[in-house]
Structure 1
Amino acid sequence: MGDQHRITHALMNEVLLRAVDALQAGNVPNALMGGLASAALGRSRHTHDIDLFVRELDADRALGALERAGFRTERTDPTWLYKAFWSDTMVDVIFVSKGGVRFDEDMREHCRPVEIGGRPIDALGPEDMLVIKAVANAEHVPRHWHDALSIVAAGDLDWPYLLRRARPHASRVASLLLYALSDGQRLPAEPVRELVEAAMADVPPHPAETEAEHHLTARLREALATDPRVNEPHLSVLVCRQEVTVRGQVATPARRRAIGLVLRELAGDHRVRNEVEVT
C-alpha cells in the first residue's frame, strides 16, 4: 500500500469511528457494510467511501445524529440512501440495499465485530455480506462478485443461516457458489444443492413439462418422506422426459437401495437414476 493510500485509509477509519460514535449517541443501531467490511471479512482492497447499514425506520434519525456530530448531510434518495460528509470523506447511510435487503433484527444478531483503528466495530456477518454482494453484482461493479468470492474462500460461514438469508435471492447466490466450486473452492454439497433447487423452483416450467410430471414429482417426494423404508424428506427429485432423477445424501448403502426400490415401484415407465450419495 502506498503512502497516499495509507493516509486515505487512516482518515477513513477516523471518520468511520466518528460516524459510529454519532449513531451510538443517537441510539441508532447500525453495522458496517461495503468495501471496508469486505476487507475485514474477505479480501483487502481500496474503497473510496464508508457504508453504514441502518434500519429503514431509523434513516432520518441517523441523518440527524450525524448532523449533530458535525457532518454535512443530504437526503440523496429517500427510497434507499442518504449521505453524510466529513471534509471530503463520504459516508453512505444505506437503509434498503439492492434487491430489497433491509437491516433487520436477524441480521443485527449475526453481526461480527471487526477491528477499526484499534476498536471493535459491528460489521454485517459474512453470510449477509455474501448475499448483498451477490445481489449487487453487475457489469459495471464486478468488485462485488469478487468480494463475495473472497468471503466464501475465508470459510467462516454459518451455512443454515446463509441458506435462510439467501432463499429470496437463490439464483444469484447459487450462481456465486457454483462459480466458487468451479474455481476450486471446497464447499459443503448439500447447502449448494438446496440453493440450486430453490433457484430452479422459481423458474417457470418449460412448455414441454407436463402436468403429469409435476404430479409424479410431488408423489415421489411424498413417498420418499413418508415410506418407512426410506424416511428421507430432504432428497431432490426431478422428473423430466420419462426419467426420474433423485439426488442427496444418506447414511447407509441399504437406505440408498431402498430409495431406488421405492422410486421404481411408483415411477411406472420412467427410467430411474439414483444419484444419492452415501456419506
Structure 2
Amino acid sequence: MESVGAAQDSAHPVYRDALTVLREAGVPALIGGAFAFESYTGIVRQTKDLDLFVRPRDSERLLRTLAQAGYRTELRFPHWLGKAWKEDASIDVIFSSGNGLCTVDDGWFTHAPPAVVLGLDVALTPAEETIWSKAFVMERNRYDGGDIAHLLRARARWLDWPRLLSRFNRHWRVLFSHVVLFGFIYPDQRLRVPDWFMREMLRRMEQDMLSLPADRRVCQGTLLSWSQYLVHIERGEYEDARLAPRGSLNPDDTAHVTAVLGREQAEGDPQKNGAGDGRDAREAEPHYDPGEAHAA
C-alpha cells in the first residue's frame, strides 16, 4: 500500500511523532483532512494541519497525552474541537462538528479503512462520515462542496449509501443537494449514484410538496453557517436549530462559537479566519496525483 503524504513538508516529522506517541499510549484516533482526502481522491494538498478524529470520551486523554509529550494544547471549543501545536505544525483534535451534529462515535471506527500515512499504518475517517461532516460546511469564506464532489467522483460506486443516508437522517436534503450538484459538475458521472437513492430523494421531495412542516419556527441555516443566519435568530424571527431539543448544543456553546469566530473574523486572522468552521485554513491549492487514488 503506497503511503499518503509522500510530498515532504516541514510539519511531517511532527505529525509522525504525534501519531507514534498516540499509538504507544493506546489512544485511538482516525486520520482525516487532507491526508484522507488524498487517499480517497488522489488529490494532493499541502497542509499545515493534521486532522485527528476521536471519540468525545477520548478527546481529553488525547490532548493530555500530547501535552505530556511536549505539545501545546487547547480545548478550543468544548463541544467539538481541541488543538495541539509543536514547532510550526498544528493538529486539530476533532470529536464532533461545529453545529453539534456529526459526533464521532463507534461507527466511525468500525468502518474506518486502513491506510499508510507518512509511512505509518493508520486508519482513515470513513468516506461516508467524511462526506457527512463536510456537507454542512457552507460559510461565506469556506465551502466544502467541492471536496464532496471529488469524493463522490472517486468513491460513489463503493459508498455504503444506506449508511450515508442514515447519517444525515432528517437532514437528507443537505446530502441530496450535494448529489444534485455532483451531477451538474460531472455530467458523465451521474450514473454512479444508485438509482434507488435518487428515486427515494425524489419521493421525499414530492411528499414535502404536499404540506408545510409542523416546526415552522426553526431556521436550519445555522447548521450550515455559524454567522450567515444569525440575523434571524437575533431578531427573534426563528429559533436556532443547533439548540436543544432540536439540536445538541446549549446557548453557552453557540455563544462561544459566535464570540470566538466573530472576533477572529473582525481581526482578520489569516490563520483562522479563512476556515468557516473555526479551524486553521492553511491549505495550498490542490493538484492531482498522476496515479489512481490509493483507496479506490
The Cα of 1:63 is off from its aligned counterpart by 0.5
Task: Quote the Cα distance in structure 2 between the aligned partners of 1:200 and 1:28.
Answer: 46
Residue 189 of structure 1 corresponds to which residue in structure 2?
Answer: 195
Residue 27 of structure 2 corresponds to which residue in structure 1?
Answer: 28
Q: Aligned with 1:46: secondary structure?
A: coil
Q: 1:170 aligns with which of 156, 160, 172?
A: 172
Amino acid across the alignment from 1:49: D
The 5 Å alignment of 1:1-279 reads 6-8=7-9, 11-42=10-41, 43-99=43-99, 100-142=101-143, 144-155=144-155, 156-183=158-185, 184=187, 185=189, 186=191, 187-195=193-201, 197=203, 205-206=211-212
Q: Is the 8 A contact 1:178 1:192 kept in 2?
A: no
The Cα of 1:101 is off from its aligned counterpart by 0.7
Greater Rg, structure 1 or structure 2?
Answer: 1
- Higher relative helix content: 1
Q: Is the 8 A contact 2:15 2:89 kept in 1?
A: no
Task: Quote the Cα distance in structure 1 between the aligned partners of 2:89 and 2:122.
Answer: 18
Task: Quote the Cα distance in structure 1 between the aligned partners of 2:208 and 2:56.
Answer: 28
Structure 1 pair 180–60 and aligned structure 2 pair: CA distance change class (3 A): same
Task: Quote the Cα distance in structure 2 between the aligned partners of 1:204 and 1:24.
Answer: 53
Deviations 1:22-61 (A, max 9, x none): 2223332211122221122123223231111111111111
Task: Quote the Cα distance in structure 2 between the aligned partners of 1:180 and 1:165.
Answer: 19
Structure 1 pair 15–194 and aligned structure 2 pair: CA distance change class (3 A): farther
The Cα of 1:94 is off from its aligned counterpart by 1.1
State percent identity of aligned pairs.
29
How many residue pairs get aligned? The number is 200
Amino acid across the alignment from 1:94: I
Task: Quote the Cα distance in structure 2 between the aligned partners of 1:85 and 1:34.
Answer: 16
Note the residue ranges of structure 1 that are not aligned, 5 or more in a row: 208-279
Q: Aligned with 2:108: secondary structure?
A: helix
Q: Is the 8 A contact 1:13 1:116 kept in 2?
A: no
The farther-off stretch of 114-123 and 191-200 is 191-200
Residue 274 of structure 2 corresponds to which residue in structure 1?
Answer: none
The Cα of 1:108 is off from its aligned counterpart by 1.0
Task: Quote the Cα distance in structure 2 between the aligned partners of 1:51 and 1:169.
Answer: 25
Q: Aligned with 2:84: secondary structure?
A: strand
Structure 1 pair 20–125 and aligned structure 2 pair: CA distance change class (3 A): same
Structure 1 pair 196–15 and aligned structure 2 pair: CA distance change class (3 A): farther
Q: Is the 8 A contact 1:56 1:96 kept in 2?
A: yes
Structure 1 pair 105–181 and aligned structure 2 pair: CA distance change class (3 A): same
Deviations 1:72-121 (A, max 9, x none): 11222212111101211000111111342111111111111222122221
Q: Is the 8 A contact 1:174 1:196 kept in 2?
A: no
Q: Is the 8 A contact 2:55 2:106 kept in 1?
A: no
The Cα of 1:198 is off from its aligned counterpart by 5.0
Q: Is the 8 A contact 1:41 1:154 kept in 2?
A: yes
Amino acid across the alignment from 1:79: H
Q: Aligned with 2:150: secondary structure?
A: helix
TM-score, normalized by length of structure 1?
0.64
Root mean square deviation of aligned Cα: 2.5
